[in-house]
Chains A and B, each alone.
Chain A
Amino acid sequence: GAVVSQHPSWVICKSGTSVKIECRSLDFQATTMFWYRQFPKQSLMLMATSNEGSKATYEQGVEKDKFLINHASLTLSTLTVTSAHPEDSSFYICSARGQAGNYNEQFFGPGTRLTVL
């Protein structure tokens, strides 16, 4: 149990386009979802936290108008990178927490590798 999926697993896009990444909890209800970004050989960087049905809370330095997060249901959250630029190229990982596990574990999706040309 406690499976989190992400789609797509990788995407290549042109500069200026928008990219949507989906994160789904497959076998549990995720009351809270987290979006992370990770550059090569660097640590996870939390971008935002979202609770179902409410606005996301963004970490300092993360532009909420550029990284749009929607957590419309207990099993789905989406991250849209708007007007993507090459510096947005990174590994985007979601994680979910909710009615799975016992001690506030976060379960991670497999990640989405974004390359902006």
Chain B
Amino acid sequence: QKEVEQNSGPLSVPEGAIASLNCTYSDRGSQSFFWYRQYSGKSPELIMFIYSNGDKEDGRFTAQLNKASQYVSLLIRDSQPSDSATYLCAVNDGGFKTIFGAGTRLFVKA
């Protein structure tokens, strides 16, 4: 059973701080890794993807991948109240199915 694990949270950070979201996965054959953001009552929105070890930066977001340790993380710099949402980690092995984690709820306090 392939699994993607995330801490459900809530993770609470003050405005302007760095929010760090973590995810581990069980399938060593995983190839593509995604972070989705889901606001309450809305559907998930893709914010980042990463496929090679290391860091990938896009604006205030940085995705980090460590395949040896089987973890992927998302850093949000200068967190804003509008970043408050549930963040879903997703992992694909190159096949049809992408496995989603249950999500981490993030609260950014003004």
Contacts and interface: CB of A to CB of B under 8 A. Distances in A.
Contacts of B49: 101, 103, 105
A103 B32 contact: yes
A97 B49 CA distance: 14
B92 A110 contact: no
B25 to A, nearest CB: 14
A49 B96 contact: yes
Interface in B21-68: 31-32, 34, 36, 41-46, 49, 51
Contacts of B94: 104
A16 B5 CA distance: 38
A62 B88 CA distance: 23
A84 to B, nearest CB: 21
A43 B32 contact: no
Nearest to A43: B102
A46 B100 CA distance: 9
Interface residues of A, number: 20
Contacts of A93: 43-44
Contacts of B42: 110-111
Contact of A106 (B51, B98, B101, B103): B98
Interface in A73-117: 91, 93, 95, 97, 101, 103-111
B74 interface: no
B45 A108 contact: yes
B88 A44 contact: yes
A44 B32 contact: no
Given A43-B103, A44-B88, A104-B32, A111 B43 contact: yes
Interface of A: 32, 43-44, 46, 49, 51, 91, 93, 95, 97, 101, 103-111
Interface of B: 31-32, 34, 36, 41-46, 49, 51, 88, 90, 92, 94, 96-98, 100-103
